[in-house]
Chain A
């Protein structure tokens, strides 16, 4: 007897299916509300190798739904913490922690090492990036996403270009702010628990051929009334619009810009954002003491080099407006922060403080 006996005695599953799982590798993108339950069930089911990528740290507000983690994990990297917990439970599978945020620069190198990709990310720029990279690399993608009390699950790209992908459903991306994520609207922990578990089930079914998978279909679920709705997806003539077709085209994509988050703004727009919402912050990214100083607008100072360590100072804001002397360092700063906060509105104020003071 081994720890998989109960599933391989299942009629229609059997030892051959178990062998397939053992020989398969799955990459879980995001050890969040969806990634945690998916990871628990995929590791329990005996997937041979599981990778977990997440650059985020465990915070207190994650604990209602990111059920792998507890109080002792606060402040730890999610991927490393999750990998440690899973490896301790099961020593017969390989677990790889990738403690970074996914970027267009690193994604193809990472996904090529896995047979199947599971997207449990939490924002549109990352979802399009993952979709496009899976198309380029020829990887099947198990997709899951939630909104308040509803969820959706699908399998994309199972058979390369013959298959449906996210761009068939939504060739024009919603703006990143059109649909708020759970950090903004709240969520009961059980909803990503259900959807993440469905995603794990779809991985197992797809890999073993057990039952009918959600290949080229999308399943909607509503926690409030248990309504579900399954739709057969269809190819969209606009699917190729703006889609990067290879490695170098992927590198030229700006997914934030594509999802309506442009990297630059002017002082007028910046000041109005600062006046109208307390979710906005203005950051001087110059070195301490650089002249001229900005004296008449509330702002904080984080020098460019310190930005990678400033997550806790910025995480609560939706609009992060960056300025420097003339606008070039602050534009670099946008790039540095984008991978950490893919769905925030992070903008460099054009012309910097010189334009503010002298134009």
Chain B
């Protein structure tokens, strides 16, 4: 018996600043980090890593390590060859001819970046494993290395993978409209060339993995610091040849990810392989400096952008070309990362012609992959910097040029080929300018200039739109991503008055337990505290696509909505039966079914469904429902960010005086959490703009190989953020949600660098490469003087 689902009302829990359920255990030191865990018989793994960026491995001798009293086993790549049924996974080969060289957990013939694993040691303690790793004798024949992706494309550059005959991994193109003609007709053309500095994600929890085998059954349980337990299970079963059903992956409390834990790593495969081979539990915890080599990096691209415009500044076409470093191997989504920005190089602006081309290139460096924003900060940076350049060229205010070009009709089929769901870009900009006191700031800026103040004031805008909520499975298929973009929710109304919610997305600091509880509480009429949210364990939630790309709420949260509809639909049948009326005579509002004469609570129906003593014919016992939601579109957060900086022309120092962010992330479920996400994203974006850069020397040595030399900003380095929002609910899902995890990191690098360049415009500075360190700023000023 089927009854059409009814549309559920959103009540008071959604939108409320509910304090997080996750916090208590974290605040009293009871979090379950992987590194806290111990199981009987556990041994510790250490990885021997190449000190050379490019070298032939001529000999590996593990015997000296085996002689260490506490060592259990030690293996070279050759010793472990039989453990692998396949390469470490790359799930996104964007073109038919994308080159995907083999990538086994240990390098056998050649090391291809500093940190490439070449041997592994297992010992009874972590200290002994690390000591013994230093005893492994490896002979290398060093070879020339290449670290810059453009240089790696040059004729005669050292090859990362000889057998490919090139360092070019792929070239991917997107062309729409009469781009060349529009450029021919253009009255004004501006060009920009930008560097996307290589970044190290630096989740404060280093990676760790623990594998416990049950040899008698061929089963394995893996606890991992991962964002993607479900993807890890699918892919690692393939790498190891372990039947997927025999592998359970658990992501317990995970200490931040930002994309760095959206991956499937050699160490996870090694721990599984060694646990299988040795029949005992294996644990590995990354050292921070080790992680700076062995955990993926982000960005590392060269970008060129051209805008075609008329003399008023109306943009007609955009042309963008990107050269993106892949690093030495393809990790889970390496080649696809720059393509997540492929549709966004025209930003929030209405254009007719659009052309994008990206070439992925192998270099002798740590592989790149997703880092907060993944492709979208890069695109936003290029267009927002170019729009400022256009304004400067025309002598117009950057606000005016933006307004002239904003997309204003929604949904909007953009030239690049996708459809923006909803937005109001003027509203966001108005709010940001109002909060900032834009006119007054311009006045102060002029006054400072007039009196020759060496501390210049700069005002920078970034009016962005991004696409997240990854993603419609059909589109993912069309762009050759090898999995779907759906996600799952299960609601189980227990007979004793509480609810279990199972979600296929896997949080690592975002507060899903609270947000999902708010949604379920509203839809089902329970208290937030009566909802228990379970996640991150493939045995508890077998089906899921995990957390990345600001997708959790926009996909997993919407799945929860539809699962709640199914609960209510079934419960209504039982309610009608109990009330002695037809289902169509029963109204449902927030946990209560009301018939013509009487009413009954959903909680009572949960008990009745469990006892099953008196159910309508054809209705199964129990009150549980699942939904797998595949989004029909991406979701499109937008907003206006405005940075106010002070640049000291004598020292080159940049200080962010104010940072204003107005974001439209659709419906807000928990404003505390949403604001927190935006704060953190802005901090990481300011860090990209001013502080952070992974630097390699010409030989491929990572010069910023620890937290001392890689400048993660601390509290005094960052300003307070002034937040506001507009809200245009997404019409593509019933909650109206869009996604918020990455907006801050996407918008802020452009706002900050636009502000720095604005401050120095009168000094003749037009661009400063990120990060805009005091030295770079000072040099730019010196060059402008010449």
**Are A and B associated in one complex?**
no
Seen from chain B, the residues whose Cβ lies within 8 Å of a Cβ on chain A are: none
Seen from chain A, the residues whose Cβ lies within 8 Å of a Cβ on chain B are: none
